[in-house]
Structure 1
Amino acid sequence: MAGIKHDAPQVPSPLRVMFYFESTGWFNTTGEEKTNEILPVLNEIIASWRENGSELLGTIDRDILTAGHAGSAGWHASFLYNVPDLQTVADMTNSFRATGLDKYFRLEAVIGRPFFLLEK
């Protein structure tokens, strides 16, 4: 049985990045805090990601069949981006720390590449 020749994966440019987004302290805030303090900062961060050379490819929100804390999956939503370089990925995750949003949300980046059997 012949196998598929599988050389070392090539790091793509731009990077393919999945950001896992989890609500943490969000559940312990009031509606007023969410509307007046947290969401405006989150919206500013997302807008800045549009300006840093990253391209949003798609999102998934798990809220159709879940409610409340993320549970064992560890995330509520995921965002798939093409990102120009590793420093930009670090800047994107750091934006939650720099603005204090890490008190309410956890953001984790996973770097990969397009799946070779589906995307060429």
Structure 2
Amino acid sequence: MAIEHDIPKIPTPLRVLFEFESTGWFETSQEERKESILPKLSEILAGWEQYGARMVGTIDRDIFTAGAAGSKGWHACLLYDVPTWEAVAAMTNSFRATGLDRYFRLEAIVGRPFFLLEKAES
């Protein structure tokens, strides 16, 4: 039996999954990580609130993995509700603008809550 689907509605806010991968991080010293990179990363992530973004949840794969991300292409995922497309672009750009893209790759995937488990706010 087929389920009939209308054209998916783009939710407000947008549901955004950011895939986060460590790249140049592995070529840095412990000192550089502790004194420069991690404080800057913490500041950028905390600053995402200025775009109206609300964190829904995160997942870090480090329980059973170590080193390069491998075929998955990410080390952690950050799930946010974000009010606008411009805010998603600003959040992604924050890595580029601060030079964090030298150490990490960030990619945004935009979708919506899964209709069988959550209702999208519209």
Category of TM-score, reference length = shorter chain: over 0.9
Q: List aligned pairs for 1:36-51, cutoff 5 A.
A: 36-51=35-50
Query: In structure 2, what is the equivalent of residue 68 of structure 1?
Result: 67
Separation in 1 of the partners of 2:13 and 2:95?
22
Letter in 1 for 2:12: S
For 2:103, the equivalent position in structure 1 comes to 104
Give unpaired runs (5+ residues) of structure 2. Answer: none
* CA-CA distance at 1:9 after TM superposition: 0.4
| TM-superposed deviation, 1:100 | 0.3
Aligned AA for 1:11? I
Q: C-alpha distance in 2, partners of 1:8/1:115?
A: 14
TM-score where L is the length of structure 1: 0.97
Aligned pairs for 1:69-84 (under 5 A) are: 69-84=68-83
Per the TM alignment, residue 51 of structure 1 is displaced from its structure 2 partner at its CA by: 2.7
- Is there any run of 5+ residues in structure 1 with no aligned partner, and where? none
Which contiguous aligned blocks of 4+ residues in structure 1 show a shift greater than 3 angstroms? none
How far does the alpha carbon of each residue in 1:60-112 deviate from its partner, in whole angstroms, 9 at most, with x for none? 00001100000000000000000010000000000000000000000000000
Is 1:118 matched with 2:99? no
CA RMSD for the aligned pairs? 0.7
Residue-by-residue CA offset, 1:14-40 (whole Å, 9 max, x unaligned) = 000000000000000000100111011
- The two structures have a TM-score, normalised by structure 2, of 0.95
